[in-house]
Amino acid sequence: MKTADKSFDAVKFMRQERERISKELVQLTNEEILEHFRKKRLKRTPKS
């Protein structure tokens, strides 16, 4: 079976995002982390 050429690597993207988020949160307290995610959740708009 031949695989298609991919322009987007989902595994690579998820690893990069996990690393980015970890760097953001490493110095925050538990309460600050919870507040960070609460704010992000409120900013999201529902998809129509």
pTM above 0.95, yes or no: no
Quickly state the pLDDT bin for 47 (edges 50, 70, 90): low
**CA dihedral sign of residues 12, 16, 22, 32:** negative
**Integer Cα distance of 16 and 22 in angstroms:** 10
Q: Which two tokens stand for residue 32?
A: 């600050």
| pLDDT score of 48 | 55
Instruction: List pLDDT tens digits, range 1-46.
Output: 666 777 899 999 999 999 999 998 999 999 999 998 899 888 877 7
